[in-house]
Amino acid sequence: MPRLWLVEREYDDRNLISFVYATTDGTKQLRKELSATLLQQRSEPITAAIEVDEDELAPVDPDQQERYATEAQSVAESNEPDEPI
């Protein structure tokens, strides 16, 4: 299973928080959306990294790949995978 690192967190006006995890080469991603209310009620924290099946991953837009790779590598170097972030 590939390990992905948190590269982006966005808030919107519908009270949703989007988390984007990407591979360190910036080519694959997984986007999760959670409501702020659900996020507060979760017993599991959002961590620096996750491991998911390859078939759950989506390709990253080529315009975003370098940025995602840089951010994923930075997060990987400064955090343990299971560290809350």
pTM comes to 0.90
Share of the chain above pLDDT 70, in %: 99
Reported as a single tens digit per residue, the pLDDT across 48-77 is: 999 999 999 999 999 999 999 999 999 999
The H or E element that residue 67 is part of is: helix 62-78
CA-based R_g, the chain, Å: 13
Tell whether the model's pLDDT for residue 43 goes beyond 90: no
- Identify the pLDDT of residue 79: 97
Query: In the predicted model, what is the mean pLDDT of residues 18-37?
Result: 93
Task: Spell out the domain ranges in the chain.
Answer: 3-78
Q: What pLDDT, on the 0 to 100 scale, is given for residue 47?
A: 94
Amino acid sitting at position 53 = D
Put the strands of the sheet holding 3-11 in their side by side order. 49-51, 3-11, 16-22, 28-35, 58-59
**Cα(26)–Cα(62) distance, rounded to whole angstroms?**
9
What is the distance between the alpha carbons of residues 54 and 37, in angstroms, rounded to a whole number?
A: 29
